[in-house]
Chains A and B, each alone.
Chain A
Amino acid sequence: MTDGAEHYEAVVVGCGPGGAAAAARLADHGVETLVLERGTEAGSKNVSGGLLYAEDSAPYTLEDLFDGVREEATERPVTDYYIHNVAGNSVKTYDLGDLHEHDTDWCDAVLRRQLDSWLEKRVHEKTSEVGGGVLTNVRVNGLLREDGEIVGVTCDELDPITADLIVAADGVNSELARDAGLMDWEEPDEWFQGVKAVVDMDPDAIDDRFDIGPNEGAAHLFSGDLFEDVRGGGFLYTNEDSLSIGTVFHLDSLVEREAEPHELLDALLTHPLLAGWFKNEYREREYAAKLVPDSKKVAHREPYRDRLVLVGDAAGQMQAQGPIIKGMNHAVTAGALAADAFAVTRGNADPEAAGRRYAKLLEDSGTMDKLRPRRYELTRTVGEHDAVTNAVERVLESRLGSLAVGNPIADRLLQRAYNSPFLVSMLPDTETGYVSLPTLIAEEHGKTIYWENEIEPPTLAERIGDLTYDTDVGNPHIELRDQSAAASGAAVSACPVSARDFGGGCYRTEAVKTNGTEETLVSLDTQPCVECGTCAVVADTEWEHPRGGKGVEYREG
């Protein structure tokens, strides 16, 4: 079956930051590398909130690998950093500058279409010098095996390809990681869902309204009660001539509350706090969504099998602790380390030599400890335990609790606590960290905001209508295995482009009469799908990505 197949020394699947870093580094080592990307251009499928970190402690940053990336492909550097705790119209703001600067060499806001397409060109230049290159519009649909051992990849668009090293840098919904049995799509509590709007704004208006210079940028985080008690928070980052505004929620919490992601985003957009920035002007360029892995729970400690290594989101290497979201930088590190591992084990007869070496490099470089902090593993067992959480909640709600948080010393302590990477990494993932505490802080310390926010975000139908799709007509990429509301009903609200009482999204429920009895069934139309991956986890589906170049095309990301 592998006879006559084309062979490359290395095949990298996905050209996001992880894939780009791996490929660039492989090319540096002179390895013949083929990169396969399913989008029409790298970045056309990708979403991030947008802060790309370069950590002092990291073995690699994107700039180490791609000279000029900051000048040519990123947006504004973050120079101001705040968190806003919200309770109704009351807001308490802390400066998070210290936390932000801890271990940070630089940090730029990015838009993924712009960034990734730039990286793609550089990667193609580098890899074509060693006999490979980047191919877009190609979707890898599985692993090629020989006698049960992974030896290559199969694609929708190309004949099978064999390789000595296969790098799965195919993101959060990695089909390859699942094919290899290294990751699964089972538990909602292992994932976040990120939803984001890119909002048009004139550069001068940005400078003016955020009180920054042309080469400065602001980052604002939001937590508290503006999200219907769903665990998670919001962000706003400044780009050159737009804002990235979004939300990141625990998927289990979204499902549990049956919250509508687009409404949560709208709650943030229409909060009075944002009125001063919008000045009642709002033009949304793009609505986007994507799952985000929670490295604390899913970062794989041995992300390899045979010749296959996983890097970035595919391996769950996305660090979200407290308000910090760091995925792109770790994907870069992991990609480069995987390449280095292959370079030293090249020619080794053992197909897993590179994988083992890569896992060791992740450990030795301290990357794995950032992704899966031991402290967290210890606190979690108690912190997230229901009984304990409930007890903490009760204390917070009691007069004593508010008193404790409300006293002026507490205010200073709180600011310091938020700025301590150590404390932040210990915040348990319960409502306490995300909702109760911030709400309480705002109630006790907050200023009331009297601005009127009169903007009207687009409806879901308009948002879908504004997106660009190349629909693979007659070839749906997701199939519902179980139409019952019990199995798949959660997707109706959790899907970012579906909603209850909205017929134009992917998922909806229908009351169907069969022989007199009425039954509620779920139906699916994949055409408005933005390929976020949510329903792969919360509904009973057969989930694949669309074929190369098909499906949604992000222009901003």
Chain B
Amino acid sequence: MTTNDDSEPEPDETESDDGEPNETESDDGLSHPTRDKKHVRALTDGDYADMWVFCETQGGELLEVSKEMLGKARALMDQFEEDYGDEEDVVAFLMGDDCEGLAEECIAYGADVAVYHDDERLERFLHKPYTEIAAHMARGEGTVESTDWREYDEPRYILFPATNNGRDLSAKVQAELDSGLASDCSDLFIEENEVSNPVKTGEPGVKKTVEKVLHMKRPDFSGFEYSTILCLDNPDRDFHPQGASVIPGSFEPLEPDSDREGLVVEHEMDIPDDWFRVEITDYDRLEAGIDLTGHDVIVCLGRGIADDPTAGMELGLDLVDAFEDAELGITRGIVTSSYQFEGHVEAYSKEERQIGETGQVVAPDLYIAAGVSGAVQHKVGMDESDTVVAINTDTDARIGDFSDYFIEGDLFEVLPRLTAAVEAGETALEPEAVADGGDDDD
């Protein structure tokens, strides 16, 4: 789509490659610019506080990412208090047709305040009403009862999930609040920042230190670079809340604590029918599918399990279980085999777990390939992994060309030993000792 000169530190491209017209342009002080003004809602010297978190729901449940953001927001605001001595809140906000219970759940997941809006027409996400309501909430508009818990103009920070709907909402709400946004962030922290950009400081050559700046890190340039984005006030136009959307899976949720105390507030507002010009006539859930991406560890099995496919699969699954966050992948060779798997492992032999060119592309920290020959079509699905460990009886297997460790051995022997060692690993720091540690005895 358009722009992102926001991700571009150097001032502009126009300057370098255009010619005369601009010279005359700058003299043209006579135009009467109006169009854009109608969109300017920014304040100057406003009061800002709290970190707001939009908690997206699906089918009457909080999305995982909503809980993850609450956990992150909690940690950030606890740190904030430590750094600046001010206690500011984590405020969850959400809407739907019946979400008081979900608002309470938000408290359990780390929010201090949860603001919700109920309306049966809001069961599913719709751009217009969701945007209007969110902006209305953020500005503290509405009845006295629903807003007297706060004393600021707009939130200091605001987080949205980087899902299809969450990202759209973030864009529209931030536009409506006349502020900026970094989308698809994978890390957030709050720190001071020394700014020299004249647009932000007001004078060229002057540096200014801004406190409490949300630093938003995001993969950029088609994944080639990480940018850190800041949303900073101009001298005569505030850009608050500082907004970010957050990639699902980037942070850990807190253990829910139903005893946590917090304030649940129902938001009130008249919602005209005119906001419902888009009508949802139907929806279907897609097959859940297996997502092999985003895990710490992938254990991948290949046709090396041929001698006893069911046992091989079990051994692979045992190793998966020994890790905190691991999944089982397979090669195409397994998907298309005629192996007769027993019922309890058969589900793991399907295309949905295939890794490679025509399967999923994964890049875990640790990739363990057992009985995998390493065909090019497989390689492209795992080559970006940090550490690759191959287990293979054949030292000439191609996988050796792109492994960090090559264990020459029979997977039926090697896998159980790895599993035992990893399982015992917590107690014994010396791995050698672990391998022949106590487990065998019981």
Contact = CB atoms under 8 A, between A and B. Distances in A.
A25 to B, nearest CB: 41
Nearest to A473: B358
Contacts of B358: 471, 473, 527
A498 B333 CA distance: 13
Given A471-B358, A510-B306, A510-B339, A503 B351 contact: no
Contact of B338 (A474, A510, A527): A510
A527 B332 contact: yes
Contact of A503 (B339, B373, B377): B373
A523 B338 CA distance: 5
B337 interface: yes
B336 interface: yes
A464 B308 CA distance: 29
Contacts of A461: 375-376
Interface in B361-389: 373, 375-377
B240 interface: no
A513 B306 CA distance: 10
B351 A521 contact: no
Contacts of B333: 503-504, 525
Contacts of A525: 332-333, 335-336
A461 B306 CA distance: 20
A525 B373 CA distance: 16
Interface in A445-484: 461, 465, 471, 473-474, 483
A503 B376 contact: no
B340 interface: yes
A521 B357 CA distance: 26
Nearest to B351: A474
Interface in A506-544: 510-514, 521-525, 527
Nearest to B357: A471
A527 B332 CA distance: 9
B332 A510 contact: no
A514 B340 contact: yes
Contacts of B373: 503-504
A524 B337 CA distance: 7
A473 B337 CA distance: 16
A490 B375 CA distance: 25
Interface string B244-269: 00000000000000000000000000
A523 B336 contact: yes
Interface residues of A, number: 19
Interface string B326-362: 0000001101111110000000000100000110000
Contacts of A474: 351
A485 to B, nearest CB: 11
A334 to B, nearest CB: 38
A420 B306 CA distance: 56
Nearest to B337: A523
Contacts of B338: 483, 510, 512, 521-523
A47 to B, nearest CB: 22
Contact of B376 (A465, A514, A524, A527): A465
B215 to A, nearest CB: 40
Contacts of A503: 303, 333, 373
A504 B336 contact: no
Which one of B303, B337, B338, B351 has the greatest number of beta carbons of chain A within 10 Å?
B338
A514 B309 CA distance: 11
A499 to B, nearest CB: 14
Contacts of A527: 332, 336, 358, 377
B411 to A, nearest CB: 15
Nearest to B354: A473
A511 B303 CA distance: 12
B340 A512 contact: yes
Contacts of B377: 465, 527
Contacts of B303: 503
Contacts of B335: 525
Nearest to A509: B338
Contacts of A514: 340
A291 B158 CA distance: 64
A521 B337 CA distance: 9
A108 B436 CA distance: 73
A267 B336 CA distance: 31
Nearest to A524: B336
Nearest to B378: A504
A504 B375 contact: yes
Contacts of B306: 510-511
Nearest to B331: A503
A544 B25 CA distance: 65
B237 to A, nearest CB: 50
Nearest to A470: B358
Nearest to B310: A513
B337 to A, nearest CB: 5
A512 to B, nearest CB: 6
A364 B336 CA distance: 51
Given A510-B306, A527-B332, A473 B351 contact: yes
A513 B376 CA distance: 30
Contacts of B336: 523-525, 527
Contacts of A504: 333, 373, 375
A512 B310 CA distance: 11
A512 B339 CA distance: 6
A503 B304 CA distance: 11
A32 to B, nearest CB: 39
B398 to A, nearest CB: 8
14 contacts: A461-B375, A465-B375, A471-B358, A474-B351, A503-B303, A511-B306, A512-B339, A512-B340, A513-B308, A523-B336, A523-B337, A525-B333, A527-B336, A527-B377
Interface of B: 303, 306, 308, 332-333, 335-340, 351, 357-358, 373, 375-377
Given A471-B357, A511-B306, 18 more contacts: A461-B376, A465-B375, A465-B377, A474-B351, A483-B338, A503-B333, A504-B333, A504-B373, A510-B337, A510-B338, A512-B339, A514-B340, A523-B337, A523-B338, A524-B336, A525-B336, A527-B358, A527-B377
